[in-house]
Amino acid sequence: MTMAIQTKGVCMSFGALTVAEDINFELPVGARHALIGPNGAGKTTFVNLLTGRLTPTSGSVFLGDLDVTHMSQADRVKHGLGRTFQINTLFNKMSVLDNVCLSIAERENISNQFWSTAASQKRIIEESLELLNLLGISGDAKVLAKDLPYGKQRLVEMAIALGLKPKVLLLDEPAAGVPSVESHRILQAIDSLPSEIAIMIIEHDMDLVFKFAKQITVLVQGKVLCEGTPDEIANDRRVHQVYLGEGHE
């Protein structure tokens, strides 16, 4: 199987605190994967290790066949790695459309000459509107990012990530803080993404996780506790212990 992204023996410590311990993780092309685990398990740290925001203390990260362990975040994005953050990173004073246009211009390396040619402007706007349409928010294209309800802001973040045409998309709690009415739209949006993109989602809402994921990794105290299909995970005694707090080491 071709791996979109994988780690080999990844370890990460912050001083005396170990937050990733010998993680061997594989995300195949086209994966629909969830990473779950209690607060503080090291999920966001792991995403940061994949994206290059952090460099592992030891071990390697591969994007396709390429060893990207020491590659910058920006270069990883150019090689097809997209992400959304647990915390909003929109340009608040720009319209929704401009936020997405900027990401596409960035992908094409023309963000510094953004409005230079009418032709590229038109093409970028069209592509942005298509993305907003895919996410069900094209009606808000002209609204300033800061004036959108939070749930829609998260959808704009996804549009921005998609504007970079990622091969791998890492979603860190895309529905966090989003009212449940709107969180369904986020799931719908994720469902409508092109099937060849490998997607990994970090999510606490187990309904959402079980609807979305074909494969689940459970992370506890920086270690992979187990991995399996939703059925396997739902029936795993160790997972129950972690979530119910019994016998939790």
Ligand X SMILES: Nc1ncnc2c1ncn2[C@@H]1O[C@H](COP(=O)(O)OP(=O)(O)O)[C@@H](O)[C@H]1O
User: Binding to ligand X (CB under 6 A): which residues in 33-52?
Assistant: 37, 39-45
Contact yes or no for 107/54 (Cβ under 8 A): no
Q: Tell me how far, at minimum, the Cβ of 82 lies from Mg ion, in Å.
A: 18
48 binds Mg ion (CB under 5 A): no
Contact yes or no for 23/7 (Cβ under 8 A): yes
Interaction mask 7-46, Mg ion, x per CB under 5 A: ------------------------------------xx--
Element of type H or E holding 105: helix 96-107
Show the tokens assigned to 98.
């401009």
Q: Tell me how far, at minimum, the Cβ of 173 lies from ligand X, in Å.
A: 8
Residue placing its CB nearer to Mg ion in the complex, 44 or 51:
44
83 binds ligand X (CB under 6 A): no
Contact yes or no for 43/219 (Cβ under 8 A): yes
Q: Tell me how far, at minimum, the Cβ of 219 lies from ligand X, in Å.
A: 7
With CB under 6 A as the rule, give the number of residues binding ligand X.
Answer: 11
CA distances from 173 to 91, 94, 182, 231 (A): 20, 24, 14, 22
**How are strands ordered across the β-sheet holding 215-220?**
81-84, 168-172, 198-202, 32-36, 215-220, 223-228
* Closest to 30 measured CA to CA, from 164, 193, 160: 193
Q: Tell me how far, at minimum, the Cβ of 88 lies from ligand X, in Å.
A: 16
Interaction mask 13-32, ligand X, x per CB under 6 A: -x--x-x-------------
Binding site for Mg ion (CB under 5 A): 43-44
Binding site for ligand X (CB under 6 A): 14, 17, 19, 37, 39-45
